[in-house]
Amino acid sequence: MLQFPYGISDFYKIRTEGYCYIDRTACIRAVEAAGMHLIFLRPRRFGKSLWLSTLENYYDVAKTDEFELLFGDLAIGQNPTSRRNSYFVLRWDFSLVSPQGEVAEIGQALHKHINARIHDFAQTYQNWLQHPITIQPDNGIASFESLLAAVKGSPHHLYLLIDEYDNFANEVLMSQAREGSEHYKALLYGEGLLKTVFKAVKGAGSGMGLDRAFTTGVAPVVLSDLSSGYNVARDVTFEPELATLCGFTEAEIATLLTQIGQTDASRTLTTMRQFYNGYAFGEEPTTLVYNPTLAFYFLQHLATRGHPPRELLDTNLAMDRGKIAYIASLPHGATVIAQVLNPLELPSVARLASRFGVEDMLTQVRDETFMLSLLYYFGVLTLDCINNMGKLVLRIPNLVVQKLYVEQLRNHLLPEFGERQTLQRATEALYYHGDLHPLCTFIETTYFRALDNRDYRWANELTVKMAFLTLLFDDLFYITDSEPALERSYADMTLLVRPDMRKYTLQDALLEFKYLPLSDVGLSGEAIKVLTRQELAALPLVQVRLAEARRKAEEYRATLLTVYGATLRLHTYAIVALGFERLVWVKL
């Protein structure tokens, strides 16, 4: 059976123990051509550590005898570069440095990590080194300088790999506590420790034995504060040649489904595309890629149990909800989160923020560009296109990420336990019985009231759709889509049961919305509240809007039935909102 390396970032282990490997070694040549000091950013759990492990095994002089075993059948093995197996390799992983405690404790953890890796280095290369490496227990930088002296006296140069360079610094920053900002400044400002480390790396490349360095991270938050300490580094995050370095293409996913013997590969691929695909990297959106951790999570479950996992969001990526919560906590952040959920008016920026430091994070105005850029780097937004104004249009990449946004909005609007219980009963009435009445009542009495004191309320149809999307989104049972394309036309919202969940008594739903301002109706909010739904439905303008919504809903319903046939248990609704007071609907 095909073994998927879920959670494994060790290239050597993957290649020697029979795990599935998606070949990215052709990128090694492009990386060599890109420069000596490189920085590469990608979201969490996107394969950055595995790429560093690939470089480590390719360049390590100690693995010369294993080159054919590790790379012989791969792209770079067929046409290797002249630098293969020619370096001493030193690797630091700053995600292992604890951000907890006082500055001195954080510094001690960093020194300890650097020293530990230097100790491993000395053990690995003792037969090549003519001079000993002296490790200073309380000074990792002095230990690094001793390592460089030993390397300089040998026939080989050093390749330095730094994983998650921004991890513990970002953790300190994201706390938003005053002491957190002071700790961050102490680490990066003036002769701060982290800045001093990168100054040492920069100096090491000036004839002191370091030939190349490749650094990975998530966001460029720290780059601004490191600029003077490490201004020789080139950011290759958006290089077109590296756009698919991390992530899987759809063709690769399709091949894996075939290899595990999936009988209905087309249907499974459709599910995976909707939940895991959609990330675009590079200067312009070209090939979309799947999140590799999520893909292996899904495929491993499918291969071992014969069906997809119930929970499509892997808990290892659920931590990203904290990044969305951070943005939502900023002034006007909730507005940005809600706007992101609108597929018809996607947010855009002239450019992504490429460098912003602690002063930007803590004292400057954190505008829409700042917030959208962070969401992009965190992997919860991606590039959709460049519009006719030259702006970068951003979108939510897929449904598992959309779940995180919906959860944030739902938690913000409906924080009370009792509200959640009432909502659960209302949604289940629609899910299992096709009964919309409890949900509409909940929206009128609870959700619309919650909008009164929030800063993301618009007087239009979007707010109504947002209400239903926020409350009905459930990726455990449904593929919930707002504005899905149906034969070049668009339905406002569809709620289609996941293929693997059709064995249950769940119902499908199609909803079409119209909005009527109270000023058009000629009635006040108080007057609207006392009328029955039958009386509201009899109002002339309401009848017009209901008829419009009904015509569109009937068209979309016919298309859905043509595409899915008898498998659907489809309930179709035309819904008219009268301001943010009442809802009127008809069931087709």
Residue ending a domain, choose from 270, 287, 316:
316
Q: Which residue range(s) make up the domain with 234? A: 11-242
- Residue 362 domain flag: no
- Residue 202 domain flag: yes
Q: Where are the beta strands (DSSP E) in 50-173?
A: 87-93, 157-163
pLDDT-above-90 percentage for the chain: 64
- Residue 18 domain flag: yes
Place of tokens 């509201």: 536
**CATH code for position 150:** 3.40.50.300
CA–CA gap between residue 545 and residue 543 (Å, rounded): 6
Whether residues 51 and 184 share a domain: the answer is yes
pLDDT score of 505? 97
User: How would you classify the pairing of strands 582-587 and 392-395?
Assistant: unpaired
Whether residues 221 and 290 share a domain: the answer is no
* The pLDDT of residue 545 is above 90: yes
* The pLDDT of residue 541 is above 50: yes
CA–CA gap between residue 226 and residue 237 (Å, rounded): 17
CA–CA gap between residue 217 and residue 162 (Å, rounded): 9
The rounded mean pLDDT for the chain is 89
- Residue 355 domain flag: no
Tens of pLDDT, residues 405-438: 999 888 888 888 899 999 999 999 999 999 999 9
Whether residues 477 and 565 share a domain: the answer is yes
pLDDT score of 396? 94
Whether residues 292 and 210 share a domain: the answer is no
| Rg, the chain, Cα only | 27
In sequence order, the 6+-apart residues with CB closer than 8 A to the CB of 241 are 27, 30
pLDDT score of 178? 45
Residues 50 and 9 sit within 8 Å (Cβ to Cβ): yes
- Residue 191 domain flag: yes
pLDDT score of 101? 76
Q: Answer with the residue of higher pLDDT: 382 or 226.
A: 382
Place of tokens 């739902």: 410
pLDDT score of 337? 86
Compute the average pLDDT of residues 56-79: 98
- Residue 114 domain flag: yes
* The pLDDT of residue 1 is above 80: no
Compute the average pLDDT of residues 184-210: 82
Tens of pLDDT, residues 564-583: 888 899 999 999 999 889 99
- Which residue(s) pair with 215 in the sheet? 39, 162
pLDDT score of 456? 43
Residue ending a domain, choose from 196, 218, 242:
242
Give the range with max mean pLDDT: 215-229, 260-274, 390-404. 390-404
Compute the average pLDDT of residues 493-505: 94
Tens of pLDDT, residues 305-337: 989 999 999 887 776 788 888 888 888 888 888
* The pLDDT of residue 179 is above 80: no
Whether residues 587 and 454 share a domain: the answer is yes
Place of tokens 């969001």: 313
Whether residues 207 and 278 share a domain: the answer is no
Q: Answer with the residue of higher pLDDT: 187 or 15.
A: 15
Is residue 191 packed enough to be buried (19+ CB in 10 Å), middle (13-18) or exposed (0-12)? exposed
Reduce the DSSP state of residue 158 to 3 states and report it. Answer: strand
CA–CA gap between residue 182 and residue 172 (Å, rounded): 9
- Residue 350 domain flag: no
Per the structure, how many domains does the chain have? 3
pLDDT score of 175? 60
Reduce the DSSP state of residue 200 to 3 states and report it. Answer: helix
Place of tokens 């460098």: 355
Compute the average pLDDT of residues 187-202: 80
CA–CA gap between residue 381 and residue 34 (Å, rounded): 27
CA–CA gap between residue 342 and residue 381 (Å, rounded): 13
pLDDT score of 283? 73
pLDDT score of 345? 82
- Residue 469, both tokens: 């999307």
pLDDT score of 257? 95
Whether residues 254 and 177 share a domain: the answer is no
Closest to 289 in 3D by CA, of 328, 256, 248: 248
- Residue 376 domain flag: no
In sequence order, the 6+-apart residues with CB closer than 8 A to the CB of 583 are 440, 443, 444, 464, 575, 576, 577
Which of the residue ranges 13-17, 39-43, 59-63, 528-532 would you say has the lowest mean pLDDT? Answer: 528-532
pLDDT score of 413? 84
Residue ending a domain, choose from 280, 298, 316:
316
Residues 518 and 491 sit within 8 Å (Cβ to Cβ): no
Q: What is the largest CA-CA distance in the chain?
A: 93
Element spanning 370, H or E = helix 368-378
- Which residue(s) pair with 290 in the sheet? 248
Residues 142 and 204 sit within 8 Å (Cβ to Cβ): no
